Amino acid sequence: MRARRIVALLVVACSLTGCASFEAARFYRQGTRALDAGDTARAVADLERAAQLVPHGSEIQNHLGLAYAAAGRDDAALTAFRRAVEIDCENGAAQHNLEMARRRAEEEP
């Protein structure tokens, strides 16, 4: 449900900002589906592309962080979660994911 709302918001933003944003929404949607299906390589590739097209997208950065974490790229995940919170400090999911990523990083030897 939340992903649908985000995609709808991206579509509205796309109509205001041009074709690159429409493409970003498509990559975000594909990457999110790939992440849900466990295809981390595809999720990372699609979400990285979405982030390139819309670098100010907090939700894109948050999902990219999830994809990186699922792929075992913990440093990249931490960076993406930080970026998501920097973009939107009220993104509760990103705040939670950032905190969890920080805790995992502290626990590593």
> Based on the number of CB atoms within 10 Å of its own CB, is 7 exposed (0-12), middle (13-18) or buried (19 or more)?
middle
What residue segments make up the domains of the chain, in order of their start? 2-107
Residue pair 86/62 in contact by the 8 Å Cβ criterion:
no
Write the pLDDT tens digit of every residue in 24-61: 999 999 999 999 999 999 999 999 999 999 999 999 99
The end-to-end CA distance of the chain, in Å, is 38
CATH of 2-107, one of 1.10.620.20, 1.10.10.10, 1.10.150.20, 1.25.40.10: 1.25.40.10
Q: Is 11 in a helix, a strand, or coil?
A: helix
Q: What pLDDT, in 10s, does the model give residues 69-108?
A: 999 999 999 999 999 999 999 999 999 999 999 999 888 7
Contacts of range 41-50, beta carbons closer than 8 Å, 24 or more positions apart: 41/71, 43/67, 43/70, 43/71, 44/68, 44/71, 44/73, 49/24, 50/24, 50/25
pTM comes to 0.82
